Structure formats: C-alpha cells, structure tokens
C-alpha cells in the first residue's frame, strides 16, 4: 500500500509541476489534500475555492496547510463556503487570519449542481488548474493541472457566485 501511495504522489507531482493538460481522478481525503496542496504549490497569483464547509480532514492536513501558507505569501485566495464556519480556532483559521489582506472569504447560499441534485465543489489555481469534486462524501473528483478551457468555465461560475454573494452576504471573519 505504501508503494501505491508513493507512486500516486509522484504521478500527481509530475502532472502538477509540468502543468500538464491530462485528466485524472482522485478520491479520499488524503489524496484530495495532496492534490489541493499541489494547486497551492504551483499557483502563482490566485486560487479560488467553492466548498461546503471547513469541517473536514483535508483542512487539517499538514501538507495542505504548509502549501496554503506558502501560497499566501505570493498570491490571493478567494473562498466561497456553503455552510456557516465552525466555532473555535483551527490551524487553517490561524493561517487565513495571518494573511487576511490576501484572503476573501464569503458565505454563500448558492449551490452548484452537477445533475440529479448532486452538489459539486471545486478549486481553481491560476485559471488553469482545476479539481472538480463530484462526490462530497468520499471526495471523488476529476483533476487537470493544465486545461484552461475547463478552468475558465468554473472561474466564470465562481466569479458570478462571488459577485452575487458579496451583494447578499457579508465577509466572514476567521479570528
């Protein structure tokens, strides 16, 4: 099993570092955290996240948090979250608060459905990297680190939802 994990990580790292336009699939919180950490690692300007909540294993992953913080030293993060933020300080909130001038965080009542009332979530890096999560319970997703066309579709959706959410909701505070 360890060999599989290392091979998977090497595969993902190669695709991400090359910004390769190749679709692959991803599932489980550990693999999700690894893929998302690579979007942070290789993004230079902007990462956009449309997510359900902040109550999951991914957001406590050390590698995810490491690359999130490294990204915030050079880029901007925009987050739309469907559910209210949990109380109490978590590691991610300390990082977001530390770089609050580079973070926009909004609650949204809007949903993105992928057919049959199946909610989807997504993460976009520099308008070319996309992780599209179609299975919220098991973190099933499709990923591509170099498809600007698909990333643009979700960038446009995100920007539209952000504009609507800004008009309707107030910015969230992490402290």
**Helix, strand, or coil (residue 35):** helix
Domains in the chain, number: 1
Query: Residue 86 pLDDT more than 70?
Result: no
In a domain, 29, yes or no: yes
Assigned domain for 173 exists: no
Q: Is residue 130 part of a domain?
A: yes
Using CB atoms within 10 Å of the CB of residue 79, give its burial: 0 to 12 exposed, 13 to 18 middle, 19+ buried: buried
The share of the chain scoring above pLDDT 90, in percent, equals: 65
pLDDT band at 112 (very low <50, low <70, confident <90, very high): confident
**Higher-pLDDT residue of 57, 38:** 38
Domain membership of residue 175 (yes or no) is no
CATH code, 142: 3.30.870.10
53 within some domain: yes
Q: Does pLDDT of 1 surpass 60? A: no
Task: Please give the Cα distance from 74 to 116 (Å, whole number).
Answer: 39
Question: Beta strand 46-51 with 121-125: parallel, antiparallel or unpaired?
Answer: antiparallel
Q: Give pLDDT, residue 3.
A: 74
Q: Look at residue 127 and give its three-state secondary structure.
A: coil
- DSSP string for residues in 133-173: EEETTTTEEEEESS-HHHHHHHHHHHHHHHHHHHHHSPBP-
Task: Tell me the C-alpha distance between 167 and 173, whole Å.
Answer: 17
51: in domain: yes
């Amino acid at each position: 099993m360890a060999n599989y994990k290392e091979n998977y990580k090497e595969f993902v790292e190669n695709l991400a570092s090359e910004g390769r336009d190749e679709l692959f699939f991803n599932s489980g919180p550990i693999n999700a955290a690894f893929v998302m950490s690579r979007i942070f690692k290789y993004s230079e300007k902007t990462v956009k996240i449309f997510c359900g909540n902040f109550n999951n294993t991914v957001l406590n992953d050390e590698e995810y948090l490491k690359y999130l913080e490294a990204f915030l030293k050079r880029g901007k993060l925009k987050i739309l979250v469907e559910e209210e933020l949990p109380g109490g300080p978590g590691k991610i909130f300390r990082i977001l608060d530390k770089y609050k001038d580079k973070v926009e965080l909004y609650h949204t009542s809007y949903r993105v459905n992928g057919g049959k009332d199946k909610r989807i979530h997504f993460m976009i890096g520099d308008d070319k990297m996309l992780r599209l999560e179609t299975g919220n319970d098991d973190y099933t997703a499709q990923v591509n680190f170099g498809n600007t066309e698909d990333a643009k579709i979700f960038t446009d959706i995100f920007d539209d939802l952000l504009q609507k959410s800004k008009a309707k909701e107030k910015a969230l505070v992490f402290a």
